[in-house]
Structure 1
Amino acid sequence: MSLPRRRPPRPTPSLLAIRKPNSRRATVVLVTLSVLVPLGLWWGLSVSGLIQPARYLPTPAATFAAALEMAGSGQLFTDAWASLQRVLLGFGLAIAVSVPLGIAMGTFRAGQSLFEPVIGLLRYLPASAFIPLLIIWLGLGEPSKVALLFIGTVFFNTLMTADAVRGIPTSLIDVSYTLGARTGEVVRKVVIPHSLPGMIDAVRVNAAAAWNFVVVAELIAADSGLGYRIVRLQRFSQVDRIFAVLAVIALIGLAIDLLLRLTRDRVGRWT
């Protein structure tokens, strides 16, 4: 019995081939389009007259001019530095707690049984729901804002770190024991180095959440920060400046993401 004849498959374009690296030229073109297309849509919508009054959607040029004006007065840098400090402190504390917990949960079944149920429960509680309690416990100053950032990121980063650790092949751990390594040595020389790129990726994802929470924290009783500045500008309908602040948040987040990505590629070249 002969099998039915099939036509030979058509060659797949390189851009659509699964996991096939693109050429340098194609990468540059795609990256350029990813920036220019949204900017073009923004500009076209702002000058089309569909949104009235027109000042409610400023053009990219007007937003850039507003950013230069705020930067010239020093206001933009002061607010950006205040927000960045809060992110570094609150999210830094979350990393310091979540990484050891995640390693324990991903490495040892006892750690998973001990910590995962309560962390899996707490992660579903909205961090913003803790704001009244944090104000009662810690007041309106910096501690409550840092605590909100910590609560909003620590649980998710713990679970994502544990998932990265669980991705280590069991055979690799078995070989380590066979070669005479002790448990502590396996954790230090196998578990942590192998899962480090995945843990950095978890930090990249949750860094974006940290910036979301810092804006929420600064909406309440703050006297500096990018979130505080947005609220102040909203009172006077200074939409162009609000867009400028949002652009600054995006650029800072992009810079952090690129730094973490370069770090991951450097420490995990073997991946």
Structure 2
Amino acid sequence: MTAPRISFEFFPPQSLEASFKLWETVQVLAPMTPEFVSVTYGAGGTTRKLTHEAVATIKRNYGLKVAAHLTCVDASRSETLEIAEAYAAVGVTEIVALRGDAPKGAARFTPHPEGFASSVDLVAALAKTGKFKLRVGAYPERHPDAAVARADVTWLKRKIDAGATSAITQFFFEADTFLRFRDDCAAAGITAPIIPGILPIQSWQGTKNFAARCGAQVPQRLDEGFAAAARDGREALLSLTHCTTLCTRLIEEGVQDLHFYTLNRPELTRDVVRALGIVPDLALSKVA
């Protein structure tokens, strides 16, 4: 089995303790030589400044290629493009362009009166600058706001046509979920790479809560498996086994890139990528 290309997602810290956790995560995972890392952007731009600081620090101190998240939420077009320019000024050449989640307390996304109405509009405006490689989100299971299941393929096609060069999916639990989506996208004429988003399960209850919010279907067998593992104190082993098995199946089906949602907790992600045949760069390990 050929080892895949990998990438990692981090989120910006909002406290001193969280800051230490982020830098520990980067130090542990940087030696795994990711193709890129991404840094998230809070709902309503709540982590806008923190995201920029984290992006700049990771790029400067670790030499990693960083894809900065950027959303349409609670900002005018000019404000959003100013943020993109600030990323460009520190050498960032990749952006993950997203519509973004509704601000806390809001039932659903509502465009800013002077802002981008959708991720398609955001991608088109960023593409026009010619300064960024643009990645977008993709949803192998029905997005909570999607009127019909097919809408997720249609929206992805529009984002690619607007200028995006690749997509990263929401996490999922079964390989067939991604493989069916990949086939549907190919049938719709989408040729850009679609990178599966992988969530190593740190907490089963937390993961189920997250899945309920984003529309990911929880397999009964996995729910029962974690219930049994909890009784025997084997949750960590089941998490490692499940994630490694999922990734292995995807690789066997021709997937060459995997994007890991680390939640700023690096150990499980590190163990999974090692199990997939990726060895750390010893020189980078010494630097970290």
TM-score range, shorter chain: under 0.3
Larger radius of gyration: 1
Relative to its length, the structure with more strand (as a share) is 2
Relative to its length, the structure with more helix (as a share) is 1
